[in-house]
Structure 1
Amino acid sequence: MSGILNPEDGSFWADEVFFMNNATIVMLFGILTLSVFARIGVMALAPRILRKIVQSDSIQAKTIRDSDKALGTAAGAGVALFLINTLIDMMGDVNTGIELPDLAIRIIPNVLQFIFAISLVVWAFRLVSIVQDVVGLLDNDDELDGTERTLISAIESILRFAIVFIGSVFIADALGFNLTSLVAGLGISGLALALAAKDTISNLFGATTVLLDRPFKIGDWVIIDSVEGEVTEISLRTTLIRTAADTIVTVPNANLVNTPVENFGKRRWRRWQTALHLELNSDPAKVADFCAQVLESIHESPVTVKPESSWCQVSTLTATSLDISVNLYWDVAGGAPERKAKEELVLSIMQTAKDNGLTFFDPRMVQTSQ
C-alpha cells in the first residue's frame, strides 16, 4: 500500500495517464467500486433491517421498495464523497504521490454532493407518504376521520416544504454557491422578500388558524363567502372545496382568517319543518288522532332527538284548508341518511292520514269547483 501512496519515480504507480499517475487512477477506481458496492448493499440490506423494525408492509414498501434506487444512490454517492474528500486531504501530505488535476478537485466533490442531495430529496419526498400509514397505525378504529386526514394533509405539506428548503441549500452548496454571501444577500433584501411573500405568509397563518381553531376539517360541508361544498384538502397555501356541481374551488388560506365560515358538519342535529294541508271538512276528532299518531311516529324514530321540542299540531285555519305544523330534529350524519329519514316519515304520514280517513287539500279541486 505504501508503494501506491508514495510511488517511486520510474515505477508503474508513478506513470501518468490523463494527468494522473496510475496510483491515483487505481484509488479512484477503488472508490468507484466501493460506492457501487455501497449502493447495492443498501438496496439489499435495508429492506431486511426495516422488516425487523417495522411490521407494516405499506411503510416498508414506501420507504424501501418504492425508493430503493434513490436510497442506494444516496448511500453510494455519500461513500464516494467521503472517500474523495479523504483522498484530497491526503494530497496535502508531502509523503504521498497522489495526483489529481485542479479541475477534478473542484468538480468531483461538487458532482458527488449534488447526486447525494438530489437522491436524498427524491427519497425524502417519497417518505412523506408514510405519514398516513403512521397515523393509521396509531388510530384505534382503523378508519381515518376528517380531523386525522386534515392533520395528515398539513404534516405532509410542512414536510414537503422543509425537504425542498433543506434540499435547495445542499444543492446550492453543491453547485458552488457561496452560502455565506447568499445569506447576507437575503438579509439585505429581506424586506423586499417579505413584501413579495406576504401572501404566502398570510396563507401559512391561515393554515395554522385552521389547524388550531378547527373551524372545519376534511369531509365537512361548508359555506365560505360565496363558496359552498365539501372540504377535500387543506394544505399550507390553500383549501380545496368540491362543490355540488363537482367542481373544485381553491380558497387561499389567508381568506379564512377574516371570512365567516358556516360549517354544516358541526351541526348537533338537523331540523325539519313542514306544513300539512288537510281538507276543511276534516273530522276534528280524526285530525286530533292523526296529529297524535304522527307525533308518536316522530318519537319512535331512532334518529329523532329533542323529542320535547317536536310537535305536530293544528296551526291555522284558512279559507281553503286546515293547516298542521310539523317540527322535529334528527341526529343524522349526512344528506343521504337525512333524505332516508324524511322519506320514511312522509310515507308514514300519508299512511296515517289514509288510516284515519283524511285527505290532503288539493288546489286543483278548488279550481274545478270554480
Structure 2
Amino acid sequence: MENLEPLEIVNGQITGLVKGLIALIPNLIAAVILLILTALVAWGISALVTRILRKSNARPSLRDAVGKLVKIVVWALGLLVAATILFPNLTPTKMIAGLGIGSIAIGLAFKDIFENFLAGFLILLRKPMRIGDDIECESVSGRVEHISIRDTFIRKRSGELVLLPNSYLFKNPVKVLTDEPLRRIEITVGVAYDEDVDQARDVITKAMEGIPSDKSDKPVQVFAKEFNSSSIDFMVRWWTESAPIDEHKSRDKAIASIKRALDDAGIEIPFPYRTLTFKEPLPLSGSSSAQDA
C-alpha cells in the first residue's frame, strides 16, 4: 500500500488538473469570443478613423500610423479583459500593478523603440516635411520616400536607400529643400584688381539674363562682396526651381554664361597669387659663374 501512495498522489494531481481545465472551458470560450470581438472592433475603429483622416486630407503615412495605434490600444484592452475572464483570480488591479513594475524594465529595454515611435508621430504631424521632399539632415541628404512609425526612408541622390531613425530626424536640424517651389542660389565670381568694378558688375548682370526660372519674378542680384587675396569677389544670387537637379542645371548655365561674358569683355578671372618673402636674400643660380666670366 505504501508503494501505491505516490501513484495516488500523481493521479490525484492529474485529476485535479483535468477538473480545473474542464472548469475553465466556459471561461476559455468566453475569452476566445472576446478576442474575436476585439479583432472586429479594432478593425472597425481603425477603418473609421482612417476614413475620417482621409476626408481631412491627412498624410497617408499619418493615417496608417494612427490606424495602427488604434488597433494596438483596442487589442491591449481586449487582452486585458480576456485575461481577467480566463483567470478570475487575476484582477485588473493586480495586472495594473504588475504592469507598473514591469514597465520600468520594459521602458529601459525598449527605450530607443519608444523614442522613435513617439518621434515618428511628431514628424508625421509636421507639415513641412512630406513624402517626395528633398531634405538635408547632418551628413544625410536625399528624397523622402516613406515615413513609418520607427524609420524614415531617405533615397540618396546617388541611389542608395538610407533608413534614418525618427529620433535622429527629430533631434537634429532638418533642411527641407523643396518646401517652396523656388529656391535662391548663390555663387561667388572673382575678377582681377586691375578691372573696373562697375563694368564687371554690368557684364555679370547681363550674362545672367534668362538664367533664373521663368516662374520667378525676382531679379538677379549682383553685389561686390569682398577684397579677396587675388581678386575682388562678387556675390551673384538668383532664383530657380527647388529640386536639386534644377539647381545643378541652373548653376551650370550661370557659370558657363558668366565665364563666356567675362572672356568676351576681356575681364580677367585671376588665378590665386602668392607672394613669398624671405628673411635673407637668396643667391641667384649661376650668379658666381657670370661674375667669373
Q: Which amino acid aligns with 1:157?
A: K
1:191-223 deviation line (CA, Å, top 9, x unaligned): 323323433665565455445666745444555
TM-score, with structure 2 as normaliser: 0.58
Contact persistence 1:243–1:249 (CA under 8 A): no
Matching residue of 1:272: 185
Matching residue of 1:162: 73
Give the 3 Å change call, closer, same or farther, for CA 167–313 of structure 1 in structure 2.
Answer: same
Pairs within 5 Å for 1:18-37: none
Check if 1:177 corresponds to 2:87: yes
Cα deviation for residue 345 of structure 1 reads: 2.8
Q: Secondary structure, in 3 states, of the residue corresponding to 1:181?
A: coil
Check if 1:290 corresponds to 2:208: no
- Following the alignment from structure 1 to structure 2, what is the Cα–Cα distance between the partners of residues 129 and 118? 17
1:312-350 deviation line (CA, Å, top 9, x unaligned): 54854765xx54423314363422232233233334434
Runs of 5+ unmatched residues, structure 1 = 1-101, 140-146, 365-370
Which of residues 239, 250, 254 in structure 2 aligns to 1:345? 254
Pairs within 5 Å for 1:67-146: 107=25, 110-111=28-29, 114=32, 117-118=35-36, 121=39, 124-125=42-43, 128=46, 135-136=53-54, 139=57
TM-score, with structure 1 as normaliser: 0.48
- Following the alignment from structure 2 to structure 1, what is the Cα–Cα distance between the partners of residues 132 and 152? 11
* Count of aligned residue pairs for this structure pair: 246
Contact persistence 1:290–1:352 (CA under 8 A): yes
- Following the alignment from structure 1 to structure 2, what is the Cα–Cα distance between the partners of residues 296 and 133? 50
Higher helix share: 1
Matching residue of 1:62: none
1:16-59 deviation line (CA, Å, top 9, x unaligned): xxxxxxxxxxxxxxxxxxxxxxxxxxxxxxxxxxxxxxxxxxxx
Runs of 5+ unmatched residues, structure 2 = 1-19, 273-293
Matching residue of 1:187: 96
Contact persistence 1:125–1:160 (CA under 8 A): yes
Aligned-pair Cα RMSD in Å: 4.8
Cα deviation for residue 293 of structure 1 reads: 0.5
Mean Cα displacement is larger for which, 216-225 or 148-157? 216-225
Cα deviation for residue 158 of structure 1 reads: 1.4
Q: Which amino acid aligns with 1:114?
A: V
Matching residue of 2:235: 326
Pairs within 5 Å for 1:243-258: 244=156, 245-252=160-167, 256=170
Contact persistence 1:149–1:218 (CA under 8 A): no
Q: Secondary structure, in 3 states, of the residue corresponding to 2:71?
A: helix
Contact persistence 2:204–2:258 (CA under 8 A): no
Contact persistence 1:304–1:329 (CA under 8 A): no
Matching residue of 2:147: 233
- Following the alignment from structure 1 to structure 2, what is the Cα–Cα distance between the partners of residues 360 and 125? 72
- Following the alignment from structure 1 to structure 2, what is the Cα–Cα distance between the partners of residues 352 and 252? 49
Contact persistence 1:241–1:249 (CA under 8 A): yes
- Following the alignment from structure 2 to structure 1, what is the Cα–Cα distance between the partners of residues 128 and 185? 24
- Following the alignment from structure 1 to structure 2, what is the Cα–Cα distance between the partners of residues 215 and 177? 50
Matching residue of 1:152: 63
Q: Secondary structure, in 3 states, of the residue corresponding to 2:104?
A: helix
Give the 3 Å change call, closer, same or farther, for CA 282–224 of structure 1 in structure 2.
Answer: closer
Contact persistence 1:118–1:171 (CA under 8 A): no
Cα deviation for residue 125 of structure 1 reads: 5.0
Q: Secondary structure, in 3 states, of the residue corresponding to 2:214?
A: coil
